[in-house]
Amino acid sequence: MAIYVVTEACIDVKDQSCLEVCPVDCIHADPEDRMSYIDPQACTGCHACMPACPVGAIFTDDDLPSTSAGFVAINALWFTDKDAARRAAAASVE
């Protein structure tokens, strides 16, 4: 099964349509987050989030642009160390 990944295009986009359509609530963001994150352990691969994203920030790991490859780890990291994930996401756009 493909892993779904939120990429840098989500940074500073406050539209959270993807969260609203996710049937298993695997997409998360705290108020202080600059982007949303998909839990790779909880995602069922239903694909509902991709068309809901207004900026095209969600990809499967199979279709992920090479420039966004680090976001596989950043998404997973948020679920174990939120601050480290936030720093890594911010560094990707500096």
Once rounded to an integer, what is the mean pLDDT over residues 59-73?
95
Sign of CA dihedral 41, 44, 50, 52: negative
Is-contact 36 79, C-beta < 8 A? no
Once rounded to an integer, what is the mean pLDDT over residues 57-69?
95
Which pLDDT score is estimated for 94?
80
Tell me, what CATH number does 60's domain have?
A: 3.30.70.20
Binning pLDDT at 50, 70 and 90, where does residue 46 land?
very high
Read off the pTM: 0.94
Which pLDDT score is estimated for 93?
85
Q: Which two tokens stand for residue 54?
A: 């207004």
Q: How many domains does the chain have?
A: 1
Question: What is the 8-class DSSP label of residue 69?
Answer: T
Q: Which two tokens stand for residue 88?
A: 């890594």
